[in-house]
């Protein structure tokens, strides 16, 4: 008997020629590029609805991301969708709504629950601590985020999950910053290949999409 996820994915695979990310692409081309300082380095940061929440995120972009992320990820057999705070939450929510898989948030707040695990993440512009709850050995999880750049967020999460005996069934992000090496670093260090939909670069403070 076909599940809700089976039916949904069969529809997704028949509609691969539709441009569900049109709104995301339009917003990226209009995005602002600001400079964030971290120690002695200046980092170009893309401010756009999907990866920054500024300005507001169009509903078309959310539906498009849910549809397209479901298309590229291996969701068959996964137990739950996981996303890091904060700009992975809306991607995970859209994916959960269109697939029926439950969603679990990786928070920046500690709740001091039994089994809570701290994860230290280091991105190009900040260092912070995140907390895993609600996941245990043997779970099969799919990790999603809005953007991957250096890999500083997803890499420690994947390492920690694997150390707990959790299976990282698949991982994906909508946007990949080219030239920063995050996808290759994560695959090299963990064996997990983060699948992405849009590759972007910054040239003369302008966004280029490939």
- Quote the CA–CA distance of 152 and 162 in Å, as a whole number: 16
Give the CA distances from residue 176 to residues 18, 44, 167, 173, in Å, rounded to whole numbers and listed in that order.
21, 14, 23, 7
Please check the confidence at residue 195 and state whether its pLDDT lies above 80. yes
- Lowest average pLDDT, out of 68-72, 114-118, 203-207, goes to 203-207
Higher pLDDT, 10 or 70: 70
Which residue shows structure tokens 């601590």?
129
Output the pLDDT for position 6. 65
- Quote the CA–CA distance of 3 and 141 in Å, as a whole number: 18
Cross-strand pairs, 36: 43
Q: pLDDT tens across 82-141, in order?
A: 999 999 999 999 999 999 999 999 999 999 999 999 999 988 777 899 999 999 999 999
Output the pLDDT for position 5. 61
Q: pLDDT tens across 7-19, in order?
A: 555 655 555 456 8
Would you state the torsion angle of the CA atoms of residues 24, 26, 29, 34, taken in this order, to the nearest 10 degrees? Answer: -50
| Beta-sheet pairing, 127-132 with 117-122 | antiparallel
Radius of gyration of the chain (CA): 17
Q: pLDDT tens across 163-185, in order?
A: 999 999 999 999 999 999 999 99
Q: pLDDT tens across 22-42, in order?
A: 999 999 999 999 988 876 778
Domains of the chain as residue ranges with CATH:
4-209 (3.40.50.2020)
């Amino acid at each position: 008997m076909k599940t809700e996820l089976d039916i949904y994915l069969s529809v997704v695979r028949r509609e691969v020629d539709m441009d569900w990310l049109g709104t995301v692409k339009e917003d990226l081309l209009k995005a602002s590029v600001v400079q964030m300082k971290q120690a002695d380095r200046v980092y170009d940061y893309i401010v756009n609805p999907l990866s920054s929440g500024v300005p507001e995120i169009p509903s078309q972009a959310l539906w498009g991301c849910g549809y397209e992320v479901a298309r590229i990820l291996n969701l068959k057999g996964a137990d739950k969708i996981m996303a890091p705070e904060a700009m992975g939450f809306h991607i995970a929510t859209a994916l959960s709504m269109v697939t029926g898989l439950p969603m679990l948030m990786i928070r920046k707040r500690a709740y001091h629950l039994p089994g809570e695990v701290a994860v230290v993440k280091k991105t190009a512009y900040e260092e912070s601590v995140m907390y895993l709850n609600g996941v245990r050995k043997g779970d099969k999880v799919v990790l999603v985020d809005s953007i991957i750049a250096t890999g500083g967020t997803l890499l420690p999460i994947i390492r920690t999950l694997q150390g707990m005996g959790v299976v990282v069934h698949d991982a994906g992000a909508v946007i990949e910053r080219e030239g920063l090496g995050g996808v290759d670093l994560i695959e090299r260090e963990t064996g997990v290949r983060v699948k992405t939909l849009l590759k972007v670069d910054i040239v003369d403070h302008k966004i280029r999409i490939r």
